[in-house]
């Protein structure tokens, strides 16, 4: 970049710094900045558009356009050239704006006189905050150096917006982190909680976006980069030599840390007048914008590496580590982009009141932990980490997947009423804890709980559950950085049995693959992992892992009854192979003289439609079957359970799916095989009544669902419910839900 451009850029940024230091209100500061930019760029027009809400841009300041249009002219995201710049987060630079695709004429602004247009997104860490626009009468394309200068200025404007520099004064923006805002995400775990925000990874705050000493800032950048490279080298040195894939990932990480092009771009930003921190953030914002547009998975991963390195570099430059010293507030609600099970478990049960994530999935490890802790979880709350501040009031509605940040009085009052109503319902359910789930017809249904952590087990006596219908064993593998030892697993399983107090616990063997990936196992690049190398398929291909786990279970039982089931069995051969491994483990323990279980049940999870049509001999030889409703439904309807566009499209109570379930119930009854249903639908009262009416006598669900399910079952005649379901099917109803719901509404 020519020295002249660098000095002009620094001069403009110096004038912006002076504008920031003035005591004037937000609108006056915005007006002054537009004049400074227009004068520096030699343009007749400079305008700043900022977001009023996530979909609406507003003209907040201008020089050259009609002043009457300020705070009056608004446009939707993607509308006109300004809206396109904000939506695509790319520069639009044209000599003939009216001829451009999507141009929108705004008569109140008087912009018809201006031909040239350059729009630059104002963004911070990939989040669009607005658009900086310059225009001129002369038809010309702005030079790359001029566009670069505008990008540098836009970066400073983003930081000023973040710091609240444009708030206050007549027509000024309201403080960004003081406005009420509602996030509509997805429910990962039900419940309603009011609390205070606690950020898992607080944002790095850049308070000095402009520097007047480039050499000093370059020195700071180089020293911080050197420290970053040392950290990456230490990560590599701590990697197991035999783990080639992890080493390859970290080598790619190191390649970015040593990237000359990355360094050169940041050096250019600093020479233009940005501080070292602002230069890092400017390049990070570009990387995040590209990451959101990249369709190639490999490119997204590499951009994610660069994003993570930028975060590390910013923390080195600012001295702001993850632990900022911020005290955890009362009733903390954890807010994070995403979080692994190990990190979440470090907080401990009983500490957090709820969890809100920008990413995550309904089957994620965080969701499993949140269910174990019986706290609300909302996922896919886009941009909440950039809006929330530590200590902010937050209302989490896990039932609806809605989060209210800094709510107004009306929202707060309505939420308090909902929480009070839920509390009254819980008191009513507590009174049923020691009563059986017995319908008015005399039919008794065993309600059991799903678990996966020791933290789940204390709720067993208070939940009213008869036992543990599913204990997920993979979490003990997922929270470690290396394969757990057999003795460790045996001790854990023994403690689980101890905590169950003699109640039955059905242990599901390791179910990894799909969305559950072990950091210390070679990752599989599969086009459809949910239907790929996972669960029992992995266990049979790696029999050493399966053998080690069943040995740990046998030793944990030590004279007590043992129930084990294999996940994702697709045909009888897979079950027989897995059962053979179990039998060999029993024989080996006998030879070694170790105590054997008092009794053994070996069952299977029926999660694939194919197993429902296995031979009758299979149904006779398996000791018990548990229908894994979540997977069975996704494969039956070919609807990915993690894809919100399709997962709610199909109903568990559709007649076609019930036909499959009726067939499973009939075949198990004919073979005398105990049958249970496990999954989300078992914990939904209406679905639970339907399943019980169809013949499922054991339902396994999260502990918090047992009270509502038991309450409804005890109020209805399950034989009559079966007649309602069968009548609906005979009429040809696509779903029995309307008929069943109508009937339930008439029950006392």
At the second CATH level, the architecture of 3-175 is 2-Layer Sandwich (3.30)
Is the predicted pLDDT of residue 177 greater than 60, yes or no?
Answer: yes
Higher local confidence (pLDDT), 375 or 426: 375
Lowest mean pLDDT among 168-177, 549-558, 584-593, 663-672: 168-177
Is the predicted pLDDT of residue 137 greater than 80, yes or no?
Answer: yes
**Which of 610, 489, 609 shows the shortest CA–CA distance to 552?**
489
Mean pLDDT, residues 663-682: 95
Mean pLDDT, residues 411-431: 85
The pLDDT value recorded for residue 636 is 94
| Tens of pLDDT, residues 36-78 | 888 888 889 999 998 877 788 989 889 999 888 888 888 898 8
Is the predicted pLDDT of residue 244 greater than 60, yes or no?
Answer: no
Mean pLDDT, residues 219-224: 91
Domain covering 438-745 in this structure, CATH number? 3.20.20.60
CA pair distance 517, 477, nearest whole angstrom = 10
* Total residue length of the chain: 748
Is the predicted pLDDT of residue 300 greater than 70, yes or no?
Answer: no
**Which fold would CATH assign to domain 181-202+326-418?**
Glucose Oxidase; domain 1 (3.50.30)
Mean pLDDT, residues 254-276: 82
Is the predicted pLDDT of residue 456 greater than 90, yes or no?
Answer: no
Strand partners, 601: 563
Higher local confidence (pLDDT), 11 or 104: 104
Domain covering 214-318 in this structure, CATH number? 1.10.274.10
The pLDDT value recorded for residue 123 is 82
The pLDDT value recorded for residue 163 is 59
> 3-class DSSP state for residue 371?
helix
The pLDDT value recorded for residue 520 is 53
Higher local confidence (pLDDT), 477 or 693: 693
| Tens of pLDDT, residues 350-402 | 899 999 998 877 666 677 778 778 789 999 888 888 788 888 999 999 888 89
| 198 within 8 A of 330, measured Cβ to Cβ | no
| Tens of pLDDT, residues 17-27 | 776 666 566 67
pLDDT classification of 643: cutoffs 50, 70, 90: confident
Most confident of 33-42, 258-267, 534-543, 561-570: 561-570
| 536 within 8 A of 509, measured Cβ to Cβ | yes
Helix (H) or strand (E) holding 342: helix 341-345
pLDDT classification of 265: cutoffs 50, 70, 90: confident
Kindly provide the residue ranges of all beta strands, DSSP E only, lying in 577-708, ordered along the sequence. Answer: 600-606, 625-628, 675-678, 698-701
Mean pLDDT, residues 399-413: 91
Enumerate the domain spans of the chain.
3-175, 181-202+326-418, 214-318, 438-745
pLDDT classification of 245: cutoffs 50, 70, 90: very low
Higher local confidence (pLDDT), 601 or 451: 601
Mean pLDDT, residues 537-542: 84
Q: Residue 664: which residues within 8 A CB-CB, separation 6 or more? A: 606, 612, 625, 627, 675
Is the predicted pLDDT of residue 647 greater than 80, yes or no?
Answer: no
User: In CATH terms, are 3-175 and 181-202+326-418 the same topology?
Assistant: no
The pLDDT value recorded for residue 669 is 96
Is the predicted pLDDT of residue 299 greater than 70, yes or no?
Answer: no
| Tens of pLDDT, residues 183-218 | 998 888 888 899 999 988 766 667 677 787 889 999
The pLDDT value recorded for residue 21 is 62
Q: pLDDT averaged over the chain?
A: 83
The whole-model pTM stands at 0.67
Q: Residue 725: which residues within 8 A CB-CB, separation 6 or more? A: 658, 690, 693, 694, 736, 739, 740
Looking up tokens 């997922």 gives: 478
| Tens of pLDDT, residues 673-683 | 999 999 889 99
Higher local confidence (pLDDT), 700 or 358: 700
| 696 within 8 A of 624, measured Cβ to Cβ | no
Question: How much of the chain exceeds pLDDT 70, in percent?
Answer: 83
Mean pLDDT, residues 131-141: 91
CA pair distance 455, 467, nearest whole angstrom = 15
Mean pLDDT, residues 623-632: 95
pLDDT classification of 242: cutoffs 50, 70, 90: very low
């Amino acid at each position: 970049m020519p020295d002249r451009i660098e000095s002009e850029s620094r001069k403009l940024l110096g004038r912006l710094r002076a504008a920031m230091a003035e005591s004037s209100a937000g609108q006056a500061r915005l007006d002054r900045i537009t004049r400074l930019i227009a004068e520096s760029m030699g343009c007749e027009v400079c305008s700043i558009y900022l977001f009023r809400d996530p979909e609406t841009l507003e003209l907040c300041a201008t020089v050259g356009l009609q002043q009457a249009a300020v705070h009056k002219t608004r446009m939707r995201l993607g509308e006109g050239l300004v809206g396109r710049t904000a939506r695509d987060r790319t520069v639009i630079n044209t000599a003939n704006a009216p001829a451009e695709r999507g141009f929108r004429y705004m008569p109140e602004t008087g912009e018809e006189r201006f031909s040239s247009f350059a729009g630059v997104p104002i963004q911070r860490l990939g989040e669009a905050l607005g658009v900086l626009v310059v225009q001129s009468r002369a038809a010309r394309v702005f030079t790359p150096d001029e566009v670069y200068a505008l990008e540098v200025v836009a970066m400073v404007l983003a930081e000023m917006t973040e710091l609240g520099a444009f708030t206050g004064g007549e027509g000024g923006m309201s403080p960004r982190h003081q406005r009420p805002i509602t996030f509509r995400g997805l429910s990962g775990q039900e419940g309603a909680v009011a609390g205070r925000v606690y950020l898992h990874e607080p944002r790095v705050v850049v308070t000095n976006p402009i520097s007047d000493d480039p050499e000093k800032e370059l020195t700071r950048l180089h020293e911080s980069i050197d420290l970053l490279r040392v950290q990456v080298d230490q990560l590599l040195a701590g990697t197991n030599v035999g783990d080639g894939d992890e080493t390859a990932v970290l080598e790619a990480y190191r390649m970015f840390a040593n990237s000359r092009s990355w360094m050169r771009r940041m050096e250019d930003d600093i020479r233009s007048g940005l501080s070292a921190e602002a230069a890092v953030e400017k390049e990070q914002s570009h990387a995040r914008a590209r990451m959101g547009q990249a369709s190639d998975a490999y490119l997204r991963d590499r951009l994610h590496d660069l994003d993570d390195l930028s975060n590390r570099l910013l923390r080195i430059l600012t001295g702001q580590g993850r632990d900022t010293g911020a005290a955890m507030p009362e009733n903390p609600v954890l807010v994070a982009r995403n979080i692994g099970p190990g990190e979440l478990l470090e907080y401990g049960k009983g500490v957090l009141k709820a969890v809100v994530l920008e990413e995550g999935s309904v089957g994620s490890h965080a969701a499993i932990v949140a269910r174990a802790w019986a706290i609300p979880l909302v996922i896919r709350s886009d941009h909440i980490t950039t809006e929330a501040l530590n200590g902010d009031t937050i209302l989490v509605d896990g039932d609806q997947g809605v989060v209210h940040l800094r709510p107004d009085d009306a929202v707060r009052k309505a939420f308090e009423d909902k929480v009070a109503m839920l509390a009254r319902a819980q008191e009513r359910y507590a009174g049923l804890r020691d009563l059986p789930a017995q319908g008015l017809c005399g039919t008794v249904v065993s309600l059991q709980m799903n678990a996966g952590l020791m933290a789940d087990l204390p709720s067993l006596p208070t939940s009213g559950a008869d036992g543990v219908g599913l204990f997920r064993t993979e979490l003990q593998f997922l929270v470690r950085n290396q394969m757990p030892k057999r003795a460790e697993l045996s001790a854990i399983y023994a403690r689980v049995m101890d905590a169950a107090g003699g109640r039955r616990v059905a242990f599901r063997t390791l179910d990894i693959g799909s969305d559950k990936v072990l950091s210390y196992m070679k990752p599989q690049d599969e086009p459809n992992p949910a239907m790929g190398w996972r669960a029992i398929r992995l266990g049979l291909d790696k029999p050493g892992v399966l053998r080690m786990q069943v040995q740990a279970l046998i030793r944990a039982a030590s004279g007590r009854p043992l129930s084990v089931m294999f996940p994702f069995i697709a045909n009888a051969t897979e079950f027989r192979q897995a059962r053979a491994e179990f039998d060999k483990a029993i024989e080996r323990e006998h030879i070694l003289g170790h105590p054997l279980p008092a009794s053994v049940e070996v069952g299977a999870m029926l999660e694939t439609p194919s197993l429902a049509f296995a031979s009758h001999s299979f149904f006779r030889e398996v000791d018990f079957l548990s229908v894994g409703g979540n997977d069975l439904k996704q494969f039956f309807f070919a609807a990915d359970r993690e894809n919100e566009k399709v997962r709610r499209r199909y109903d568990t109570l559709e007649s076609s799916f019930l036909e499959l379930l009726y067939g499973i119930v009939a075949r198990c009854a004919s073979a005398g095989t105990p049958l249970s249903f496990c999954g989300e639908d078992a914990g939904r009262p209406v679905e639970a009544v339907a399943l019980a009416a169809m013949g499922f006598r054991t339902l396994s669900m999260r502990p918090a669902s047992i009270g509502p399910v038991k309450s409804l079952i005890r109020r209805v005649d399950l034989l009559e419910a079966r007649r309602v379901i069968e009548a609906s099917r005979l009429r040809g109803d696509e779903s029995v839900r309307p008929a069943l719901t109508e009937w339930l509404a008439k029950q006392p």
